[in-house]
Amino acid sequence: MTHTSILALGSNLGDGRANLLRAIELIASHIGQIVAQSSVLETEPWGFVSEHTFVNQVIIVKGALSAEAILAETQQIEKALGRVTKSEHGNYTDRIIDIDLIDYDGQIVETVDLQLPHPQMHKRSFVLVPLCEIWPTWEHPILHKSAQELSDNLTICDGNQH
């Protein structure tokens, strides 16, 4: 059976665009076929202060892996590209690559290791803006709003986009 996943990629250390490209190559070879890819968005760090800006991108992947297997593969890809930790003492830090599983077939999953849809995605313009570029009608399975509605609401609530 083929499943559809949304992955968000980010990098703010080294050559960010090259890091995204390498991650996408590894995702295509280990997880599944990339059927859509947003343009690269430059953003300020979210949730922490850093002098390094991010490059972010969202991709849609079709493949046979389970959500748990995709999570494991993305963590291996992060390690292969040089990522050491996800955070330090629960705080976000600069990173060579970050790959987040945002959605998997519209499923709602809440386990110790995995929450779907990603619990912060609706607050993050660096996820919503590129997602709107490639799938504006995607519907959040808990909030029942489209990616475009979530993005529009974020802009209204924040007064700007991060």
Residues in CB range of 48: below 8 A, 6 or more apart: 91, 92, 93
Q: What is the pLDDT of residue 155?
A: 64
pLDDT at 161 over 50: no
Q: Do the Cβ atoms of 23 and 119 come closer than 8 Å?
A: no
- pTM for the whole structure: 0.90
Two tokens, residue 85: 């930790």
Q: Is 32 left (phi over 0), alpha (psi -120 to 50) or beta?
A: left
- Residues 55 and 129 sit within 8 Å (Cβ to Cβ): no
For the stretch 85-142, pLDDT in tens is 655 555 667 789 999 999 999 999 999 999 999 999 999 999 999 999 999 999 999 9
Domains of the chain are 3-118 (3.30.70.560)
- Write out pLDDT tens, residues 14-50: 999 999 999 999 999 999 999 999 999 998 877 777 7
